[in-house]
Chains A and B, each alone.
Chain A
C-alpha cells in the first residue's frame, strides 16, 4: 500500500457528443464535478497534473495555485502515470492534495489542436511515408502476427467487442448500448483488415478528474475513498514498428508487475479489471502481459465469457473504449470506472470488489501506466 487515496472522482456532466464545450472547459467541467464529489474547491488543491494541455494552462484556467505540477504526456495512460507521480509527490511532502484532469473534444473538436508527426521524427521518417493515418492503421498492425503465432481467430477477436457491449448494455452513460453478435461485428465496415468498425474504439467528447491525498485524511471527505495499493509505469516505443515483440507489450509487463508487486497481490486477489481497449486486441495482450492468462490463451478466455457479466474476472465493466466512450486519451475513464467499482457505485456494479486493477496504454503500445486500488487502506 502507498498510504495515498483517491478521495474525489468524477467525469464531465455529459459524455458523448458535447459541441457546446471547448476542450479546456471539458477539463474544468470534470474538475468542478470532482470538487463537488470531494466537498472541496480549487483553494484546497496544491498539486496539479494533466496531459494534452500544458498543466500551466489548465491550472490558470481553474484558478489553481499549485506548488507541484506534472505534465507527463505519454498518451492515454498519462493519468495512471500521474496517479503514480502524485503518490510520490505527496509522500515526499511536495504537496498535499493533487488534482488530475483530462478533457478532450475528440468528436466535436472544439478548441482542439491537430495531430501530425514532425517530418524529421522517427514517425515522420519511418512510418508516415508508408500510409499510416491515425491509430486504426498503427495500433492494429501487430495483430496478424499474434493471430498466426497463437491461433487467435477472427471470431475470438470479434468476441472482445461482443462481450464489452454486454457490459455497456447495463450502463446508461455508455455511448453504444445495443447488444451485438459476432456477425454484427463482421458485417460492420472494414477499417483496417482484420479490424472492423466495431473492433475499433469510439470517438467521443468528455473529461474526467481525480483528487488524491493521504489516506489518513480520507475520513474528512464525504465519499468512500479508493485506496492506492500500488502503481507502475513504463515506456517502450514512439513508433509501433519498433515495439520489441509484436505479440506482447514490454510496457504492459513492466507497469503491471511493478503495480502488483507494490500492492503485494496475486492474480487471485483481483476482483475487477480494466484494460484500456483502444482496439479489440488490447484486452488480449493485457490479460497475457499482466499474467492473468498464459500466452495465446486470452482470446479463448474472453470468448468463453470469463470477462463478461457473471464471469470470474469482470473486465471493462463500463463497456470500455469500444462501447462506453473514447475521447482519445481514454485512461481517465478506465480509472473512473475502477474508482466507482471500489466505491460500490458503478452502473454495472460487480458484487464485493475489494481489489481493482487498472491497466492503461499510451500511444500505440508506446507506454503504460497501471494502478491497483483497494476498498480498504491495507494491502
Chain B
C-alpha cells in the first residue's frame, strides 16, 4: 500500500512527533491561562503567553464528526472515514478510526475512542484511534 502524505515536523512541532514515536500523545497547556491547545505552537493561541508546557495526554476522546470518503486516495483501497476526535483534555484533532467497519452504522458519534500508534517510518508515527470496548465485550 502506498504511504500517506507524511508530515514534515518543524522546530515548533517536533515534540509532538517525538511523542508519537515513543507512544505518547503530547498536548500543550498554557501556564498563564490554563488553556489546553492543539496543534502545537510555542505560545498560547488564547492569551498569547509564551509560558506554555508540554504534557502527556490521556489518549482518550470521543468521535465528534466524520465523513466517509468514497473518492480515490492512493493509500486506501476502500471508502474510509476521516474523523474529528474530541480529546478528553479539550482540543479536537483529525485522525482515522481503525479496527472498525467504515460505515455509518459502526461509526457512531460520541463513541469513546483510544489512541493507537501506526508507524510510518523511523521519523513519523501517526496517532490513529480505535473504539474503546467495554470490559467483558468482545471486539
Contacts and interface: CB of A to CB of B under 8 A. Distances in A.
A129 B6 contact: yes
B13 A148 contact: no
Question: How many interface residues does chain A have, given as a range?
Answer: 35 or more
A125 B95 contact: no
Given A131-B69, A141-B82, A126 B7 contact: yes
Contacts of B95: 130
B104 interface: yes
A132 interface: yes
Interface string A189-205: 11111110000000000
A313 B120 CA distance: 52
A144 interface: yes
Contacts of B39: 122, 125-126, 239, 242
Contacts of B96: 130-131
Given A136-B71, A145-B65, A130 B109 contact: no
- Interface secondary structure of A, over-half rule: mixed
Contacts of A144: 65-67, 109
A141 B67 contact: yes
A242 B69 contact: no
B73 interface: yes
A125 B6 CA distance: 7
B82 A137 contact: yes
A125 B94 contact: no
A142 B5 contact: no
B73 A131 contact: yes
B85 to A, nearest CB: 9
Contacts of B75: 131
Given A189-B70, A192-B70, A131 B80 contact: yes
Given A119-B5, A125-B9, A192 B68 contact: yes
Given A125-B13, A127-B94, A133-B73, 17 more contacts: A120-B8, A129-B5, A129-B7, A131-B69, A131-B73, A134-B71, A136-B71, A140-B67, A141-B65, A141-B66, A145-B109, A189-B70, A191-B70, A191-B71, A192-B71, A241-B92, A246-B64
Interface of B: 4-10, 13, 39, 64-73, 75-76, 79-80, 82-84, 92-96, 104, 109-110, 126
